[in-house]
Amino acid sequence: MASAKEGNGAVTKRTTLHDLYEQQGQSPWYDNLCRPVTDLLPYIANGVRGVTSNPTIFQKAISSSNAYDGQFKELISAGKDAESAYWELVIKDIQDACKLFEPIYDETDGADGYVSVEVSPRLANDTQGTVEAAKWLHKVVNRPNVYIKIPATAECVPSIKEVIANGISVNVTLIFSVARYEAVIDAYLDGLEASGLSDLSRVTSVASFFVSRVDSLIDKMLEKIGTPEALALRGKAAVAQAKIANQLYLKKFSGPRWEALVKKGAKKQRLLWASTSVKNPAYLDTLYVDPLIGPDTVSTMPDQALDAFIDHGTVARTIDANVSEAEGIYSALEKLGIDWEEVGKQLEHEGVSSFKGSFDSLLTSLEEKGNALKTAANL
C-alpha cells in the first residue's frame, strides 16, 4: 500500500477498496485512529469510508505518542483530572476525524462516512450508566456522522434500544454469537419504533460482529478434542458463523414489521465485520475479509488486514455463497460438543476485560503523567 503513505489526500490510484464499495456495496473502514488525524487522508484517498476506534486503540495512540502532550498539559493546568482529560483528548480526535469523513457522509446522504467512539468500558454491565454516557458523548462530540459504540452485553442490549429511541446513531460492538446478534437487531427495531420520530432516516446503526477471535477460541477447543474430524474444522468456524449471521440479517430486515419502518425512512442496521486481522499466521491474511463480501455491509480493517486486502484481496460477492456448507460446519461443531452461546459469552467476557484493562492502564499512566506535571509546576 505504498501509495497510501504519499500525498496530501489526492487520489494516488484506484485500489481494491474502491472496487469493493462500487462493485459489491461493501464499505471498507479503517480500524485505527491516532494523531495527527490528517494521517487518515491517504486512507480516504485509497477508498476508506469510515473509522472505528476502541479503548485499546486510544491507549496505544495516547501512550505511544507525544502528539497528545500539549493538550494534556493544558487540561491538567486547567484543573482537569485524568479521566476528564482522557475524554477531551478522545473527543478532539473524534471531532477532527468526523470532519474528514463528513464529505462521504454528505455524498451518501448519511449512509456512510462514520467515525465510532466507545462509551467507557467500565459501564459494560450498567444499563442506565451506558445510556447516560451515550447521550453525553453524542452531545459533546456534536457531529452528525459520529457513531456511539455500545457493547452487546446482556445489560447493554436494553441500552441500545433506549439510545436509538433517543435518535442517536449506534455502533453495537463485541457481538460474538448469532443469538446475541438477534437480540441486537431487535433492540434496534424496538428503538426505532419507540422513538416517535416521523423521519427515521438520520438514526442509523451498525452491528459489529467479531470474526477472528471466534476461530482463536474454537481452534483451541478443536485441538483439545484432537480427532481428525475436529482438526479438519480449524479456521472454519468464524466465517461459517458470520455467513449464518448474514442470513439472519436478511430475514430480520424484511417483512411487514421492517416495511412499516422503511415507510418512515428507516435504514437497515448494517452488519459490520470486526476483528478481521488474522491471529494465526498459518491462515491466509485475507481470510476474514474475502469470504464476507456483500451489499450493505461494512468491513473494518486494522493495518495488517487493510494492507493485505489492497495488495491481493479478491473483490467478489461471497457473503451468500456456500451458505449450506457454512450451516454444515456450524452443526458439525455443535455435534463435537462446541456450544456457540458459551463461546460467545467467553469471548464477550474476554473482549470487555481487554477493553477495561486498556482503559484502566491508560488512566493510570495519565494520572502519573498529570501528577508529574503538577509537581514540576509547583517547583
Structural domains counted in the chain: 1
- Which CATH number do you get for residue 116? 3.20.20.70
Does the pLDDT of residue 324 top 70, yes or no?
A: yes
pLDDT of 13: 81
pLDDT of 315: 98
Side-chain-side CA neighbours of residue 45 (13 Å): 18
pLDDT in tens, 128-165: 999 999 999 999 999 999 999 999 999 999 999 999 99
Q: How far apart are CA 58 and CA 221, in angstroms?
A: 32
Does the pLDDT of residue 9 top 70, yes or no?
A: no
Does the pLDDT of residue 306 top 80, yes or no?
A: yes
Residue 276 lies in a domain: yes
pLDDT of 144: 97
Does the pLDDT of residue 347 top 60, yes or no?
A: yes
pLDDT of 379: 58
Amino acid code (one letter) for 371? N
pLDDT of 12: 58
User: 196 Cβ partners below 8 Å, 6+ apart?
Assistant: 165
> What band does 6 get if pLDDT is binned at 50, 70 and 90?
very low
pLDDT of 374: 86
pLDDT in tens, 179-204: 999 999 999 999 999 999 999 999 99
> What band does 239 get if pLDDT is binned at 50, 70 and 90?
very high
> What band does 376 get if pLDDT is binned at 50, 70 and 90?
confident
Active site residue 5: no
Query: In angstroms, what CA-CA distances link 127 with 130, 153, 269?
Result: 5, 9, 21
Q: How far apart are CA 98 and CA 118, in angstroms?
A: 14
Residue 379 lies in a domain: no
Q: Taking all residues of the chain, what is their mean pLDDT, rounded to a whole number?
A: 95
> What band does 277 get if pLDDT is binned at 50, 70 and 90?
very high
> What band does 373 get if pLDDT is binned at 50, 70 and 90?
confident
pLDDT of 192: 98
pLDDT in tens, 84-95: 999 999 999 999
Q: How far apart are CA 27 and CA 147, in angstroms?
A: 15
Residue 329 lies in a domain: no
Q: Going edge to edge, which strands form the sheet with 270-274?
A: 26-30, 297-301, 270-274, 205-210, 170-175, 146-151, 115-118
Residue 4 lies in a domain: no
Q: What is the mean pLDDT of residues 56-76?
A: 93
Residue 337 lies in a domain: no
Does the pLDDT of residue 11 top 50, yes or no?
A: no
For residue 50, the enclosing domain spans 16-214+266-318+345-369
Q: What is the pTM of this model?
A: 0.95
Residue 67 lies in a domain: yes
Percent of the chain scoring above 90 in pLDDT? 93
- For residues 298 and 50, is the Cβ–Cβ distance under 8 A? yes
Q: What is the mean pLDDT of residues 77-102?
A: 97
Query: In angstroms, what CA-CA distances link 25 with 17, 18, 21, 114, 158?
Result: 11, 10, 5, 16, 30
Residue 187 lies in a domain: yes
Residue 75 lies in a domain: yes
The residue from 149, 252, 268, 369 that is catalytic is: 149
> What band does 2 get if pLDDT is binned at 50, 70 and 90?
very low
